[in-house]
C-alpha cells in the first residue's frame, strides 16, 4: 500500500469511529431527554451500602428498574448467586453495553432486557431496585402495590416512594448523604 492510500484508510477509519461516537452520544442524549434521566451509575459508596441491605442467600427474582451500565445488576448477581437478577433498560447504548458486558463478565443468574420497566411483570419479584426520580417512583407505586408479592422488598436509591412508610432508611456517608429507602410489601 502506498503512503497516500494508507493515510486515506486511516482517515476513513477515524471518520467511522468518530461517527460511531457521535451516534452513541446522540442516542444517550436523546434517551435522557425522552426518559427523563441519564444512565448515571451508582457510586461505589452507595453500592456498598445498598449491597449491605441485601442478604446473600436471597432467592427468587430481583428486578432492577433501569440497569444503566450494570453497576448494581452485576454486584447483586455476584452477591446473591441463588437469585435471578433481571435488569431492565430502555436506553440503547447502556443496554448494548450491558449485553456486551454479559459476554465478557458472564453471570448465569443475570439477564438484561431491552424495554420499558413499566411493562415488567413483578408478580414473581422478591426484590425491586430503583435509582430513578421522584415522578417515576410516584408512577410505579400503584404497580408495586398491585403486583409485588407479600413480604417482597423495594429498595430505592435517593428517591422516596411518597406516601409509603419505609421499613428503614440508610444514609450513605458521602458528599450528598444519599438516602437508601427500604420498603416492605405487606398485605393484610
Ligand atoms: C440513574 S440510572 C441508574 C442506573 C443503574 N441502576 C445504577 O444504579 O447504576 C437510571 C436508568 O433508568 C433507565 N430508564 C429510565 N426510564 C426507563 C424505563 N421506562 N424503562 C427502562 N429503563 C429506564 C435510564 O435509561 C437509566 O439508565
User: From the CB of 39, is ligand 1 less than 6 Å away?
Assistant: yes
Atom number, ligand 1, closest to the C-alpha of residue 88: 21
CA distance linking residue 156 with residue 50, whole number of Å: 9
CA atoms within 13 A on the CB side of 77: 21
What stretches of 36-81 show up as alpha helix (H) in DSSP?
44-52, 71-79
User: From the CB of 89, is ligand 1 less than 6 Å away?
Assistant: yes
Overall pTM surpassing 0.75 (yes/no): yes
Which residues fall within 8 angstroms of residue 177, CB to CB, at 6 or more apart? Answer: 171
Helix (H) or strand (E) holding 139: helix 134-147
User: From the CB of 70, is ligand 1 less than 6 Å away?
Assistant: no
By alpha-carbon position, which residue is closest to atom 25 of ligand 1?
Answer: 91
* pLDDT by position in tens, the chain (length 188): 677 788 898 989 999 999 989 999 998 999 898 898 999 999 999 999 999 999 999 999 999 999 999 999 999 999 999 999 999 999 999 999 999 999 999 999 999 999 999 999 999 999 999 999 999 999 999 999 999 999 999 999 999 999 999 999 999 999 999 999 999 999 87
Cβ-contact 137, 156 below 8 angstroms: yes
Atom number, ligand 1, closest to the C-alpha of residue 39: 27
Cell numbers describing residue 166 = 419505609
Amino acid at each position: 500500500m502506498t503512503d497516500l492510500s494508507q493515510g486515506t484508510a486511516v482517515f476513513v477509519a477515524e471518520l467511522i469511529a468518530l461517527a460511531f461516537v457521535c451516534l452513541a452520544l446522540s442516542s444517550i442524549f436523546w434517551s435522557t431527554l425522552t426518559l427523563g434521566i441519564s444512565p448515571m451509575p451508582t457510586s461505589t459508596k452507595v453500592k456498598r451500602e445498598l449491597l449491605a441491605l441485601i442478604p446473600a442467600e436471597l432467592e427468587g427474582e430481583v428486578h432492577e428498574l433501569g440497569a444503566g451500565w450494570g453497576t448494581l445488576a452485576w454486584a447483586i448477581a455476584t452477591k446473591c448467586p441463588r437469585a435471578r437478577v433481571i435488569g431492565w433498560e430502555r436506553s440503547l447504548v447502556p443496554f448494548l453495553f450491558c449485553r456486551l458486558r454479559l459476554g465478557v463478565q458472564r453471570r448465569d443468574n443475570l439477564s438484561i432486557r431491552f424495554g420499558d420497566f413499566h411493562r415488567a411483570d413483578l408478580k414473581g419479584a422478591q426484590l425491586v431496585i430503583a435509582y430513578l426520580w421522584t415522578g417515576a417512583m410516584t408512577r410505579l407505586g400503584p404497580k408495586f402495590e398491585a403486583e409485588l408479592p407479600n413480604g417482597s422488598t423495594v429498595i430505592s436509591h435517593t428517591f422516596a416512594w411518597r406516601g409509603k412508610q419505609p421499613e428503614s432508611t440508610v444514609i450513605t456517608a458521602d458528599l450528598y448523604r444519599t438516602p437508601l429507602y427500604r420498603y416492605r410489601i405487606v398485605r393484610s
